[in-house]
Structure 1
C-alpha cells in the first residue's frame, strides 16, 4: 500500500471497529493471568490465530509473537514472568509452514525490503531460519533449560500448517 493511500485511510476504520468491540467488551476487571495456564510463542503471520487454533478464548493464554516465532531474549523474559506470575504451566513454541523468514535467505529479504523501502537494507538482520525443525528444537531446549523458567513447566514444539490449520508436534 502506498504511503498516500495509507495516510488517507488513517485509523478511522479501526477506531470504529474498536468502538463496536468496546460496546460488547466483557473482560473488564480481568486479572490478566493465563486462566488455562498456556503461553504460546508464535510468528506474527496474520494467518495464525493463536487462541482459536488451540480452542482457547481471550484470558486463557499469554501470546508472544515475532517474525518466525522464535524464542528470543524478549520471549524468554515474557515466559519467565508468565511461569512465575501469570499462571503459565504449558508453553507451546509454534513456527509455521510457508514462513518468510524460513523460506528466504538474509540476502533475499534484505533485497526485498530494500526495494520496498527504496533504501539500503544490507545492514539489517531478519533472523532467517535455515532449518525450521532444528531451530524449533533448539528454541524448545532454550526454554526448557532456562534457569528461571518455573520447575515443572511443560514445553513443546509444534509446526502450524497454514494450509490445513493443524499443529504437527516436533520432538
Structure 2
C-alpha cells in the first residue's frame, strides 16, 4: 500500500476548521474553467475567485475533450454556469513535445514500450484553443447566452491573454 499519511494528516488539519459543509455545489460566480492539470495553475486565485465560485475541469493541455463538454453542458444547465473560460498555458509539455517524444519519455521512465499510448499533443496551441472555443460555442446543448472565451495563461507572469 502506498504511503499517503502526510496527505491524510494534512486533511485532518484542514477538516478541523472546515466550515463549508452543506454547500450547494452551484458555481456562485457563474464560471466554468477548462484548464491544464499543470500544478503552476491555481484556477480560482488567477481569477480572484473563491471556493464555490467556479466549476473546474482539468486535463493535460487544457483541451475541450468529450468529458469536458459533458461537464460544461451540466454546468450550464444545472450548476449556474454562464461564463466558460478555456485556458491552456505557456510552456505546456503537451505543446512542447511531439507524440513520439512523450512516448519515448514514458517508455524510458517505465522501462516498457509506451508506443501504443496516445497523449494528444498540441502542435499549434492557439489554433487548438480557437477550435475548442468554437466547439463549445457551437455545441447544441450549451445555450448561446453562455459567454465562452479562450485565454492563454502565462506561467511566468500569472497573466491571462484573451485570444478568442
* Bin of the TM-score, shorter chain as denominator length: over 0.9
Q: Which segments of structure 1 move beyond 4 Å, counting only runs of 4 or more?
A: none
| Mapped partners of 1:26, 1:56: distance in 2 | 18
Query: Superposition pairs for residues 1-171 of structure 1, below 5 Å?
Result: 7=2, 10-171=3-164
How far apart, CA to CA, are the structure 1 residues paired with 2:117 and 2:78?
Answer: 35
Structure 1 residue 26, shift from structure 2 partner: 1.8
Structural RMSD (CA): 1.0
Residues of 2 paired with 1:152 and 1:37: CA distance? Answer: 12
CA positional deviation for 1:151: 3.0
Aligned residue pairs, count? 164
Question: Secondary structure at the residue paired with 1:93?
Answer: strand
Q: Bigger shift: 73-82 or 145-154?
A: 145-154
CA distance in 2, matches of 1:129, 1:168: 18
Q: 1 CA distance for matches of 2:126 and 2:108?
A: 30
Q: Which digits, 9 at most, give the CA deviation of each residue in 1:101-148, with x for residues without a partner?
A: 100000000000110011100011101000000000000000000000
Q: Separation in 1 of the partners of 2:159 and 2:87?
A: 11
- Structure 2 gaps of 5+ residues are none
For structure 1, the 5+ residue unaligned runs are 1-5
The TM-score normalised by the length of structure 1 is 0.94
Supply the distance in 2 between the matched residues of 1:153 and 1:13 (Cα, whole angstroms): 41
SS at match of 2:38: coil
CA distance in 2, matches of 1:116, 1:66: 21
Distance 1:150 1:86 in 2: 13
Partner deviation per Cα, 1:10-39 (whole Å, 9 max, x = no partner): 100000100111111121000000000000
